[in-house]
Amino acid sequence: MFDDLADLYQQLILDHNQSPRNFLMLPDADCRAHGINPNCGDNYTLYAKVDGDVVKEISFQGSGCAISKASASLLTVSLKGKTKVEMKTLFDKVHDMILTGNIDGDVGSLAALAGVHKFPERTKCAILPWHAAMAAVEGRGETVSTETEKE
């Protein structure tokens, strides 16, 4: 049973890497941020359209390893339509899940990222797009690097 679930999550990661969702530049984005992970070479730009408090559209472009790309793709699917407060709550859950493997409540297909905790050298790959998305929506418009991640 557990193996089936692990297989399902692996399939999800592979699918989102091969066919990333929302993998485009938003021409009318009103916020964006750039995220880099020098350890792995992951390099993405996150684009968002925010209306008041709600993330209306979110997309990404760039390149990197399978885990970072799948995480970015899952992120765009999960964050569309969320408020900034919901986004921060989800960020904290996903951050914890990637580092510890603990799944807190129903996070849908994002649960696929929990398996990354077994590969400590890849956790930064999975977290990177989330840092960039937060930086974009908070209007910091800066480049975030996993090297500033607090351990």
- Closest to Zn ion by CB, 50 or 124: 124
- CB contact set of 151 (below 8 Å; sequence gap of 6+): none
Which window, 5-13, 38-46, 78-86, 139-147, contacts Zn ion (CB under 5 A)? Answer: 38-46
Which window, 12-20, 35-43, 79-87, 88-96, contacts Zn ion (CB under 5 A)? Answer: 35-43
Q: What gap in Å lies between CA 71 and CA 37, rounded to an integer? A: 13
| Interface pick for Zn ion out of 74, 125, 126, 133 (rule CB under 5 A) | 125
Give all strands (DSSP E) within the chain, no chain letters: 31-37, 42-51, 54-63, 143-145
- Closest to Zn ion by CB, 13 or 125: 125
Residue 66 makes contact with Zn ion by CB under 5 A: no
Q: At what angle do helices 66-79 and 123-137 cross, to 10 degrees?
A: 40
Among residue numbers 41 through 60, which ones bind Zn ion (CB under 5 A)? 42
CB 137 within 8 A of CB 50: yes
- The contact set with Zn ion (CB under 5 A) reads 40, 42, 65, 68, 125
